[in-house]
Amino acid sequence: MSQVWTIVFLLATLPFCVLCAAFDLTRMKIPNWVVLGLFACFLVLGPLALTLPDFGFRLLQTAVILTIGYLLSTYLGVGGGDGKFAAAAAAYISPDDYGVIMMSLGVMSLLAVGMHRAIGRVSALQPLTQGWESYRDISKFPFGLPLAATLVFYNLLQVVNA
């Protein structure tokens, strides 16, 4: 994929990633319209930027991740919005980069948990986060934050490496 398309993918996904993280932090929910918007961008841009076989394979991997997300939500209590966002984000991931994505997601998850917990303990910052659902029940975590950060980081890597 050309550098122009990597930049287009970054710019197209960035607002949805910011919205995903913001909604999950404040409401512990990722609205369907955010997920559908992210996926709709891929449906429009994907055929222009990718070969037909690559586009088709990415649609298939989206369906696989959506199925896994549904199963995790149904049987293990993972948030439904997290699974849907992961599926929509999967459309933007090259099959050659699964290792990069898994490593990035692990690092982003650790950073997000650490940052979220640290901010919750800083009394000077608590007025900024007052009313955020993610701080009401500390046993739950807004996983949309590391998911969104991972997609942004991945797209930035694609721009740099293109």
pLDDT tens digits, 123-140: 898 888 989 999 988 888
Give 21's pLDDT tier (boundaries 50, 70, 90): very high
Tell me, what's the pLDDT at 83? Answer: 97
User: What is the per-residue pLDDT for 123?
Assistant: 87
Mean pLDDT along residues 73-95: 96
pLDDT in the model for residue 139? 85
98 has pLDDT over 90: yes
pLDDT tier for residue 114 given thresholds of 50, 70 and 90 = very high
The rounded percent of the chain whose pLDDT value lies above 70 is 100
* Contacts for 129 with CB less than 8 Å, ≥ 6 apart: 119, 120, 135
Average pLDDT, the chain: 95
Residue 5 has pLDDT above 90, yes or no: yes
DSSP H helices, the chain, are 3-27, 32-49, 52-76, 80-90, 98-121, 144-161
pLDDT of residue 120: 87
Which residues touch 153 (CB under 8 Å, ≥6 apart)? Answer: 104, 108
CA dist list (Å): 112 to 7, 14, 49, 117, 150: 25, 17, 31, 8, 11
* pLDDT score at 81: 96
Q: Which has the closest alpha carbon to 113: 99, 130, 134?
A: 134
Collapse the DSSP code of 66 into the 3-class scheme (helix H, G, I; strand E, B; otherwise coil) and give the result: helix
Instruction: State the angle between helix axes of 52-76 and 32-49 in degrees (0 to 180), rounded to the nearest 10.
Output: 160
